[in-house]
Amino acid sequence: MQNFGVAITGSGSAVPTNSLSNEVLTQLVETSDEWIATRTGIRSRRLASANDSLQAIATQAAWQAIAMAKIAPTDIDLIILATSTPDDLFGSACQIQAALGATQAVAFDMTAACSGFVFGLVTAAQYIRTGVYQNVLLIGADILSRWVDWKDRRTCVLFGDGAGAVVMQTSNRDRLLGFELKSDGTQNQCLNLTYQPQSQPLVNDISVAQGNYQPITMNGKEVYRFAVQRVPEVIDKALFRANLKADQIDWLLLHQANQRILDAVAERMHIPQHKVISNLARYGNTSAASIPIALDEAIRAKKIKDGDIIAASGFGAGLTWGAAIFSWGR
Please give the DSSP secondary-structure letter assigned to residue 29: S
Give me the least distance between CB of 282 and ligand ACO, in Å please: 16
Question: Does residue 223 bind ligand ACO (CB under 6 A)?
Answer: yes
Is-catalytic flag, 274? no
Residue 36's nearest CA partner among 266, 220, 294 is 220
When binding is defined by CB under 6 A, the residue of 251, 283, 315, 326 that contacts ligand ACO is: 315
Peptide bond into 280 cis (omega under 30): no
Interaction residues for ligand ACO, span 132-171 (CB under 6 A): 153-154, 157-158
When binding is defined by CB under 6 A, the residue of 5, 37, 39, 236 that contacts ligand ACO is: 39
Question: Does residue 258 bind ligand ACO (CB under 6 A)?
Answer: yes
Question: Does residue 282 bind ligand ACO (CB under 6 A)?
Answer: no
Give me the least distance between CB of 240 and ligand ACO, in Å please: 24
Is-catalytic flag, 114? yes
When binding is defined by CB under 6 A, the residue of 257, 291, 309, 323 that contacts ligand ACO is: 257
Give me the least distance between CB of 287 and ligand ACO, in Å please: 7
Give me the least distance between CB of 291 and ligand ACO, in Å please: 11
When binding is defined by CB under 6 A, the residue of 35, 63, 108, 213 that contacts ligand ACO is: 35
59, with CB counted inside 10 A (0-12, 13-18, 19+), is buried
Per-residue exposure over 141-169, b if at least 16 CB sit within 10 Å of its own CB, e if not: bbbbbbbbeeeebebbbbbbbbbbbbbbb
Is-catalytic flag, 94? no
| Minimum CB distance to ligand ACO smaller for 148 or for 166 | 148
Question: Does residue 64 bind ligand ACO (CB under 6 A)?
Answer: no
When binding is defined by CB under 6 A, the residue of 224, 264, 267, 308 that contacts ligand ACO is: 224
Q: CA of 193: how far to CAs of 113, 213, 233, 235, in Å?
A: 10, 7, 27, 27
Question: Does residue 40 bind ligand ACO (CB under 6 A)?
Answer: yes
Q: How many residues sit close enough to ligand ACO to count as binding (CB under 6 A)?
A: 24
Query: How far, in Å, CA of 139 to CA of 272, rounded?
Result: 29
Strand partners, 176: 326
| Minimum CB distance to ligand ACO smaller for 110 or for 128 | 110
Query: How far, in Å, CA of 234 to CA of 239, rounded?
Result: 9
Which runs of consecutive H residues, i.e. helices, occur in the chain?
Answer: 22-25, 33-40, 54-69, 93-100, 116-129, 153-156, 220-242, 259-268, 280-283, 290-300
How far apart are the two ends of the chain, measured CA to CA in Å? Answer: 23
Contacting positions for ligand ACO (CB under 6 A) = 31, 35-36, 39-40, 114, 153-154, 157-158, 191, 218, 220-221, 223-224, 227, 257-258, 260-261, 285, 315-316
Give catalytic residue positions: 114, 255, 285
